[in-house]
C-alpha cells in the first residue's frame, strides 16, 4: 500500500477492514458532537486542497494517518470545537468553531508549509508546491450548519472512495454516528440534504 498515491479504491474488503482496525488500534482522535450553532461568524466550513489536486496527502496510509492527526492537533489548539472533519488523498474538509478565523487560516498555512517541507524531503522533491490554499465559509443558519456537517461526512462517498461513511478511516463519521442515535442521524440527513452543496467550488475554487 505504498507508492505515489494511496489507492483506497483498489483495496478489497478484507484489506479495508484491516486498515480500519489498524487505525482504531492507534487511538485516533475524535470529533465533538454537534450542538445548536451560534451564528456570530464563529462557525466555519474549512476546505483545503493539494496543488493541482495531486494526491500528495494520500501517498500511503501512514501519511494519511499522520496528516489527519496533526491537522486535528491544529484544530484542538486554535478552535473551540471541531464538529466534523474528513481527510482525502488530495484535500480535506472541516466544520469548526473558531473565534479567530484569520489566525486559524494563518496557522493552517504554517502547517501546510511544515508538511510540504517534510514530504518534499522524503520524496527528494525540493521546491515542489504541495498545497494550494485553505478557504473558509461562515455558517449562516442552522440549516447551513447541518447541511455542511452532512456534506463533510459524505465527502468520501461523494468522491467515490467508499459506499458508506463508516468505511472511510480518515473522518469523524464513525464517531458522529456512534454518539448520535441512528434515528436522529437519519433525521438530520433527510431534513438537511446536501443537494448540490459544494458544486462549483468544492474542487474548482480550492
84, three cell numbers = 466534523
pLDDT of res. 22: 57
pLDDT at residue 3, rounded to an integer = 43
Of 35-39, 99-103, 175-179, minimum mean pLDDT range: 35-39
Handedness of CA 138, 104, 86, 122 (dihedral sign): positive
Residue-level pLDDT at 20: 62
Q: Does 62 score more than 70 pLDDT?
A: yes
Distance in angstroms (rounded) separating the CA atoms of residues 49 and 162: 19
- Number of alpha carbons in the 13 Å side-chain half-sphere of residue 167: 18
> Residue 16's pLDDT is what?
63
Does pLDDT of 41 surpass 80?
A: no
Average pLDDT over the chain reads 85
CB 2 within 8 A of CB 60: yes
107-124 pLDDT, tens digit each: 999 999 999 999 999 999
Confidence grade of residue 1 (pLDDT, cut at 50, 70, 90): very low
pLDDT (mean) for 193-198: 82
Percent of the chain with pLDDT over 70: 76
Going along the chain from its start, the domains and CATH numbers come out as 39-191 (3.30.70.1290)
Amino acid at each position: 500500500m505504498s507508492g505515489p498515491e494511496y489507492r483506497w479504491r483498489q483495496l478489497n474488503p478484507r484489506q479495508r477492514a484491516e486498515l480500519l482496525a489498524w487505525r482504531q488500534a492507534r487511538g485516533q482522535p475524535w470529533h465533538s458532537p454537534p450542538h445548536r450553532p451560534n451564528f456570530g461568524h464563529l462557525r466555519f466550513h474549512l476546505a483545503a486542497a493539494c496543488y493541482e489536486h495531486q494526491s500528495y496527502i494520500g501517498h500511503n496510509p501512514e501519511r494519511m494517518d499522520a496528516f489527519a492527526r496533526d491537522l486535528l492537533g491544529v484544530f484542538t489548539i486554535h478552535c473551540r470545537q471541531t464538529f466534523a472533519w474528513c481527510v482525502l488523498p488530495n484535500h480535506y474538509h472541516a466544520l469548526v468553531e473558531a473565534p479567530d478565523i484569520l489566525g486559524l487560516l494563518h496557522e493552517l498555512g504554517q502547517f501546510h508549509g511544515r508538511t510540504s517541507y517534510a514530504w518534499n524531503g522524503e520524496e527528494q522533491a525540493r521546491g515542489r508546491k504541495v498545497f494550494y490554499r485553505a478557504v473558509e465559509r461562515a455558517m449562516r443558519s442552522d440549516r447551513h450548519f447541518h447541511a455542511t456537517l452532512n456534506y463533510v461526512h459524505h465527502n468520501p462517498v461523494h468522491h467515490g472512495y467508499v459506499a458508506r461513511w463508516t468505511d472511510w478511516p480518515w473522518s469523524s463519521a464513525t464517531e458522529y454516528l456512534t454518539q448520535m442515535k441512528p434515528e436522529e442521524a437519519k433525521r438530520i440527513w433527510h431534513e438537511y440534504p446536501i443537494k448540490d452543496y459544494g458544486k462549483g467550488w468544492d474542487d474548482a475554487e480550492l
